[in-house]
Amino acid sequence: MIGIRRAEERGHFDFGWLDTYHTFSFGDYHDPENMGFRALRVINEDWVRGGGGFPPHPHRDMEIVTYVLQGALEHADSMGNGSIIRPGEVQRMSAGTGVVHSEKNASAVEPVHLLQIWIFPERRGLEPSYEQRPLPEVKGRLAVIASPDARDGSVRIHQDASILATQLDKGQSAEHRLQSGRYAWVQVVRGPVMLNGERLERGEGAAVSDLSRLEIEAIEPSHLLVFDLA
């Protein structure tokens, strides 16, 4: 079964410095029908204007993955980490028992476009930690960028969940097999694509259950994430 979350159904706020779309309930956007999917809690698509950013704020008991699509995002946290995240990299922060961090556009002029992803951890009270890695080759193939065992050079998340990414040229296809009893969420960054016969446009997502195989075909040049979830 495939349940589609249309792009225009997402929560939307434009704060001037931040233009953001929420796939699931977040902050001032509350939708009891869309509180997450399995362990996946948040997918926010953010555009942060030049010079803008999120001031220091706390988190706890959440796996936070940042995926930059355009521009550069500057990160700092109470663990002493400071870095700039660019396209072609993935960042994971385990908030655990508590961490304070800030994220701001590294440019005073150019916008930064990113996905902020939250996944519930396998248990509460983990030690906070941070990791940033280059992405593997994702053009023409689904590649693991986050996983519980850090396989294939992916960042490690503390949950039985994996995130895969791909960029497909027009007409290219990719396939992902789901083990029995597992679920998937597909999020289209750029599209459109066909997912098992269903058309998904840019910004749209799909909850997948009771299927053993995902078949993805790019109608136009496309970029998407696949979440393999328990």
pLDDT for 78-134, tens place per residue? 999 999 999 999 999 999 999 999 999 999 999 999 999 999 999 999 999 999 999
147-184: per-residue pLDDT in tens?
999 999 999 999 999 999 999 999 999 999 999 999 99
Q: How far apart are the first and last CA of the chain?
A: 16
- State pLDDT tens for residues 42-82: 999 999 999 999 999 999 999 999 999 999 999 999 999 99
Q: Does the pTM exceed 0.85?
A: yes
φ/ψ (deg, to 5) at 8: -75, -10
Query: pLDDT digit string (tens) for 14-47?
Result: 999 999 999 999 999 999 999 999 999 999 999 9
| Per-residue pLDDT at 157 | 98
**Domains of the chain in sequence order:** 2-229 (2.60.120.10)
The whole-number pLDDT of residue 86 equals: 98
Average pLDDT, the chain: 97
pLDDT of residue 95: 98
Mapping DSSP onto H, E and C, the string for the chain reads CEEEECHHHCEEEECCCEEEEECCCECCECCCCCCCECCEEEEEEEEECCCCEEEEEEECCCEEEEEEEECCEEEEECCCCEEEECCCEEEEEECCCCEEEEEEECCCCCCEEEEEEEECCCCCCCCCEEEEEECCCCECCCEEEEECCCHHHCEECCCCEEEEEEEECCCCEEEEECCCCCEEEEEEEECCEEECCEEECCCCEEEECCCCEEEEEECCCEEEEEEEEC
